Amino acid sequence: MIQYCCVIMLLCVMGCADSSPEPQEVLEKSRRTTAEVETKLEAIQKSTDESKAKIEAMRPNPPDPTDIK
């Protein structure tokens, strides 16, 4: 127990005990990360839509049931 207290006191003196970030910094980083993720998600959605369009264009058209030969 004494060793634990000594370590805590040493960390406090060195300024290492309270290394938690400021709430504002956490909020700003969260907003930046959210914006980056949204940008990447939009790019993925666009790519997915383009791929779906290419696949649809490559599919053969089904025969028209009203077109009797």
What are the structural domain ranges in the chain? 22-47
How is 12-59 classified by DSSP, letter by letter?
A: HHHT-S--PPPHHHHHHHHHHHHHHHHHHHHHHHHHHHHHHHHHHHHS
Residue 16 has pLDDT above 60, yes or no: no
Q: Is the pTM of this model over 0.85?
A: no
Give the pLDDT score at 12.
67
Mean pLDDT of 36-57: 95
